[in-house]
A and B are shown apart, each in its own frame.
Chain A
């Protein structure tokens, strides 16, 4: 399994040096940052883009004729074009938002509430993040529609037959994640979208976990709306994207109104400006957008194929090691093409937070809890899980430090990794 030797140590990882924060020591140890599904660290190029914008080009956009305003506007629109190219969209279909959560809420408020009628159905899945669940629940409650949930299998993949069975002529909207932020499962979105379109449903995709992997091609997915966040793809916080098919964006009502999004305003009413400006009222996060453009440049420089190859190799390595530990239960599909490098597990006899606490003392940053997926936790019948999620600067050394940290956890809590017990992996013999 040592096909990719360059993944062996942090010193040999060619990208790690691009990320200044990774030079930090945590609790006297080097940092193994394995919380990339929550947010990624930022490369120097992104940090520089923020600084450069504020030092050289800062001005409001679309408002002034002065030089700086024109520069800022050009940079902002260039960033939009870069993001559009990155996901296979046209620039007019890319709306800058504050993040995936805001993007999804904009569709729920501005589109779903106008679409749904009493008795209509919204189909979700059991693996949705609260950001792609609660907005639809609320839209359904407001309109008298009902939410339904496609089930997942014991190995954490979507039950395709159940998804198909739950689609019917009352299904007006399907909202699903491209990849689970807990299980790592990659859903076959293109296939599912085609099924949903057959019954006339509109498809909204949460791509928060796949945009950073260069896995989003809206033309191939053919989804109607798609949302993601800049901060999970090596860009800054406070910037995100809503993609929508041009025709649907024309039908969407602006959830927020104000300056910069209008065509004309008089005392009684206002008319809306062009898309995408119509959905970007007020002063947008300009520097954030420009720096997101820099993050896209950075990811394009690495290349989607390289991103996936590295992550796949390291994911297989980590899963193999965790599976070998008899007291570790891994949730989610086996290594392979249908999963990302998000790895959730529990250590028998130790609460996830206690695991994460002790790992942190060894410089290993993981996350523990329900990960904004309480419906999934109920399905898995656990209060929470420990999640190690990989980024492009991780190497085998980080995985090995995670494994060593787990030994430390066993020591502190007096649980042994070699005593007898139940099967190591759910859903697999």
Chain B
């Protein structure tokens, strides 16, 4: 359709959903976690390998809608190279940005995810944008005592 971009399904989101980055399972991996959206049954499985305490490889396999797939793809690109705890913190910042609808002060790693902030106008889709991040938070929570 020629015309203005769709407000929620921006080209960049559609493109990530069509060709998700890092959509393969990481083998061998040091961490794995799943997240399920109980409302719709959509699932994300995230695997990653830490090397020198940083995310050296990450994979997100998603069975879900365009938003959950694109969000997972963008997430994998945003967190690669970061320590796990920092990745989880970034997820928290992203969650807050969606809940408060703020795109102004996004940290540089999250700027590519800015188009997803639009989901705040679609209550039922917020979980979709956060699904893969929940897996990261789970992993970080499991290893939290050590830092």
Contacts and interface: CB of A to CB of B under 8 A. Distances in A.
Interface of A: 351-354, 357-358, 368-370, 374, 377, 383-384, 411-414
Contact of A351 (B6, B8, B65): B65
Interface stretch (B24-32, B36-44, B49-57, B101-109): B36-44
A369 B40 contact: yes
A354 B1 contact: no
A34 B143 CA distance: 47
A246 B138 CA distance: 52
A412 B14 CA distance: 9
Interface string B102-134: 000000000000000000001011001000000
A358 B9 CA distance: 9
B63 A383 contact: yes
B92 interface: no
A21 to B, nearest CB: 20
B122 A357 contact: yes
Contacts of A413: 9, 14, 66
B40 A357 contact: no
Given A413-B9, A413-B14, A354 B65 contact: yes
Interface residues of B, number: 18
Contacts of A384: 40-41
Contacts of A352: 40, 65
Interface string B5-17: 0101100001000
B9 A353 contact: no
A357 B40 CA distance: 13
Contacts of B14: 413-414
A48 to B, nearest CB: 31
Interface of B: 1, 6, 8-9, 14, 39-42, 63-67, 122, 124-125, 128
Interface SS of A by simple majority: helix
A412 B6 CA distance: 7
Nearest to B1: A411
B64 A357 contact: no
Give the one of B14, B42, B65 with max A CB within 10 A: B65
25 contacts: A351-B64, A352-B40, A352-B65, A353-B40, A353-B67, A353-B125, A353-B128, A354-B9, A354-B65, A354-B66, A357-B122, A368-B40, A369-B40, A369-B41, A370-B41, A374-B41, A383-B40, A383-B63, A383-B64, A384-B40, A411-B1, A412-B9, A413-B9, A413-B14, A414-B14
A353 B39 CA distance: 11
Nearest to A370: B41
Contacts of B40: 352-353, 368-370, 383-384
Given A351-B64, A352-B65, A357-B122, 8 more contacts: A353-B67, A354-B67, A368-B40, A369-B40, A383-B41, A383-B64, A413-B9, A413-B14
A8 to B, nearest CB: 29
A265 B108 CA distance: 69
A384 B124 CA distance: 15
Nearest to B9: A412
Nearest to A414: B14
Contacts of A358: 9
Nearest to A350: B66
Nearest to B128: A353
Contacts of A353: 40, 65, 67, 124-125, 128
A351 B122 CA distance: 16
Contacts of A374: 41
A357 B122 CA distance: 9
B127 to A, nearest CB: 10
Given A353-B128, A412-B1, A377 B66 contact: no
A252 to B, nearest CB: 32
Contacts of B1: 411-412
Nearest to B66: A354
B73 to A, nearest CB: 15
Most chain A CB atoms below 10 A, which of B8, B40, B67: B40
